[in-house]
């Protein structure tokens, strides 16, 4: 049965809520906000049920079962299902054209941060389809809903709301005008407000750090990866061979790191000069497992999103963009 999320919206006055009053007082005392402006903001908030449904099952709706559909077993094949719509020819071409259009920015950002253009572009592709799908949810309403309605991550979202309001104040943004994802992420790279605080860059020099601007977004993502330990010229991941169809050897995932000498019976399919300990990564297909070695740079990508599948999707998309760029424009990216 497919689970859908309710999108019914209604306005709510949060300014009278005790927890919100405490929050407002904190913003006034610690960050010099105007009390009456904050009260005005919180007086008319549109409750975001779709956002809340992610973290509180009470706000989810169950759809009707559609008859006649073939039932598919989901015991295996999670990676196959995950990657299905990521690597279409149309999407890869869209990414190649995005890099070409902004090639001068990518070149300068690479020279400064050492992060290859294809990896920055791949993250933008996965996060917002190269800026086409940045989200149309009102971020202030989303974060207020998630901060002050009962859900398992309300404390986290209260911090994000604080960071969001500070961000709008510093950059002279109207908090009611900023749109993004149903989880509160903003811009081409879908930065949460806390990431904005630490990693956003005013690359175009207009006095604002805006992930809605292409140049700032490219630089911000590269800055994020560089600050989390990206190593220039080092590889990201390489596929390895093993005996059998399913790997049941050592524990896999970015939580586990092994000296390569301990990984007997595993051999990279292509040349692999990386000598440092590696992460052992398993991708579940319908009939077999794919096994990969992950270098430190793979781990760095998981700092952007704590998922092996996400990081692998970024890596593989980056490689496809690099090859596609060379094929279409007869030039290397860097």
SS3 assignment, position 215: helix
The confidence score (pLDDT) of residue 66 equals 35
Tokens 């960071």 sit on residue:
163
Q: Is the pLDDT of residue 279 over 60?
A: yes
The confidence score (pLDDT) of residue 4 equals 41
- In this predicted model, what pLDDT tens digit does every residue of 219-254 receive, in sequence order? 999 999 999 999 999 999 999 999 999 999 999 999
- Identify the active-site residue in 30, 89, 118, 127: 127
The burial class, CB within 10 Å (0-12 / 13-18 / 19+), for 306 is exposed
| Domain extent listing, the chain | 11-58+135-227
Residue 78 tokens read as 């999670």
Tokens 């949810």 sit on residue:
137
Q: How confident is the model at residue 332 (pLDDT cuts 50, 70, 90)?
A: confident
The confidence score (pLDDT) of residue 74 equals 57
The confidence score (pLDDT) of residue 304 equals 96
Q: How confident is the model at residue 57 (pLDDT cuts 50, 70, 90)?
A: confident
Choices 1.10.3720.10, 3.30.950.10, 3.40.50.150, 1.10.8.350: CATH for 11-58+135-227 = 1.10.8.350
Q: What is the mean pLDDT of residues 12-40?
A: 97
SS3 assignment, position 69: coil
Q: Is 61 a catalytic residue?
A: no
The confidence score (pLDDT) of residue 254 equals 93
The confidence score (pLDDT) of residue 59 equals 78
Helix residue spans in 102-138 (DSSP H): 103-113, 117-128
- In this predicted model, what pLDDT tens digit does every residue of 132-162 receive, in sequence order? 999 999 999 999 999 999 999 999 999 999 9
């Amino acid at each position: 049965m497919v689970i859908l999320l309710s999108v019914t919206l209604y306005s709510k006055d949060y300014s009278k809520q005790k927890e919100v009053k405490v929050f407002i007082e904190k913003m006034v005392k610690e960050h010099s906000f105007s009390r009456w402006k904050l009260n005005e903001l919180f007086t008319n908030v549109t409750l975001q049920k779709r956002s809340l449904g992610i973290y509180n099952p009470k706000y989810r709706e169950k759809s009707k079962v559609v008859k006649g559909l073939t039932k598919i077993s989901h015991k295996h094949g999670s990676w196959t299902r995950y990657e299905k719509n990521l690597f279409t020819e149309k999407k890869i071409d869209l990414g190649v054209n995005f890099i070409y259009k902004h090639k001068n920015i990518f070149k300068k950002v690479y020279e400064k941060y050492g992060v290859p253009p294809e990896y920055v572009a791949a993250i933008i592709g996965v996060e917002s389809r190269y800026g086409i799908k940045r989200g149309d949810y009102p971020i202030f309403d989303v974060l207020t809903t998630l901060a002050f309605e009962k859900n398992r991550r309300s404390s986290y979202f209260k911090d994000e709301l604080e960071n969001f309001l500070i961000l709008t104040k510093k950059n002279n943004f109207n908090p009611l005008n900023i749109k993004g994802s149903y989880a509160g992420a903003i811009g081409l790279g879908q930065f949460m407000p806390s990431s904005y605080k630490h990693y956003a860059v005013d690359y175009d020099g207009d006095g604002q750090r805006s992930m809605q601007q292409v140049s700032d977004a490219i630089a911000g993502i590269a800055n994020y990866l560089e600050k989390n330990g990206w190593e220039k010229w080092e590889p990201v991941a390489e596929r390895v061979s093993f005996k059998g169809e399913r790997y049941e050897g050592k524990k896999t995932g970015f939580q586990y790191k092994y000296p390569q000498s301990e990984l007997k019976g595993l051999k990279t399919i292509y040349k692999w000069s990386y000598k440092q300990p590696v992460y052992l990564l398993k991708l579940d297909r319908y009939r077999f497992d794919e096994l990969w070695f992950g270098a430190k740079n793979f781990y760095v990508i998981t700092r952007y999103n704590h998922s092996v599948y996400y990081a692998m999707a970024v890596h593989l998309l980056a490689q496809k963009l690099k090859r596609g760029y060379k094929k279409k424009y007869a030039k290397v990216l860097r």
